[in-house]
Structure 1
Amino acid sequence: MTVYEMRTYTLHVGKMGEAVKLYTEFGYPALQKGGQDQKLIGYFQADTGTINQLVHLWKFTDDADRRAHWASVFAAPWGPHP
């Protein structure tokens, strides 16, 4: 059964730009390098309401696929970061 995972990160007010910049420069390229971006549906942020939240949505074939994916992400070297 397909599993969708939504992760929501609440940031300090005024820090969204910094978070997006760090992810763009370091996070996403690291996922791409390991081929771990293939299950990513997208990243989203609101223009109204709770504007300090970053949401990402992932699609997996099943829970075993989800667990294996995150195990590989957290085991991978992330390279240089600030």
Structure 2
Amino acid sequence: MIVEQRTYTLRPGTAAAYLSTYEEHGLPHQLPILGTLIGYYFTEFGALNQVIHMWGYEDLGDRA
């Protein structure tokens, strides 16, 4: 299995609006294209204001 991790840095105070917009407009379009969503995470310590999501693929051919 191949796991792709994507990290996005948000402006402070925009996490709730980002998540709401992404759930409504982004996720429905990405699910059929990007494969299996493993998880969606927000940072609470360390580098703040970041969202991390992980997508799973069977192999590199599936990722392409």
Could you state the TM-score of these two structures normalised by the residue count of structure 2? 0.80
Q: CA RMSD in A?
A: 1.7
Which residue identity does 2:11 align to in structure 1? H
**Which residue of the partner structure matches residue 14 of structure 2?**
15
Larger relative strand fraction:
2
Which residue identity does 1:39 align to in structure 2? T
Residue 19 of structure 1 aligns to a residue whose secondary structure is: helix
Q: Unaligned regions of 5+ residues in structure 1, if any?
A: 68-82
More relative contact order, 1 or 2 (CA 8 Å, 6+ apart): 2
- Work out the number of aligned pairs and report it: 64
Q: Percent identity?
A: 36
Could you state the TM-score of these two structures normalised by the residue count of structure 1? 0.66
Q: Tell me if the contact between 1:3 and 1:62 (Cα under 8 Å) persists in the aligned partners.
A: yes
Runs of 4+, deviation exceeding 3 Å: 35-38
